[in-house]
A = this chain, B = another copy of it.
Amino acid sequence: MIQNLSEHQREDLLEALAQGGQKVTPQREVVYAVLLAKRDHPTVDEVFQRARESMPGLSLATVYNCLETFVGCGLVRQVNHERESTRYCPNLAPHAHFRDESTGRVHDIELPAHVLSTLRSILPNGFETDSIEISFHGHTKNSRTHTSN
């Protein structure tokens, strides 16, 4: 069962939505809470399953709608890996993703500022970036129990 949003989190949600003239709704609260509760980069369907436990009437279409809205207002990032279902991530700090091919899990990898600028530096003149996506793909050696949240 999903925890309610903290005052602070609700504030973030409100603020992010407000700048596009959009409102906080019970559905959006639940979906956002699901993302914050377990930062394991769930798919739309996983978000749907988890959210339904708190709000049984919730529809899949609404989960799609909410997530799209969040991405639109910069509250959440989309994470794509090859041709798999899109996953969602509420971590706003600059980071890369590591996809463990044996477990299927996706881990956040912190991205230091100097790495980002090194990356930008490889672009020839005339290329103006608005986003960079970095994804690693591999295995994790044991010891990596890493219970993310």
Contacts and interface: CB of A to CB of B under 8 A. Distances in A.
Contacts of A127: 98, 107, 109, 136, 138, 140-141, 144
Interface stretch (A45-53, A56-64, A111-119): A111-119
Nearest to A134: B134
Question: Chain copies in the assembly?
Answer: 2
8 contacts: A80-B80, A98-B127, A101-B130, A115-B122, A126-B144, A127-B141, A128-B140, A133-B137
Interface residues of A, number: 39
Interface in A131-147: 131-144
A122 B118 contact: no
Given A82-B78, A134-B133, A135-B132, A122 B96 contact: yes
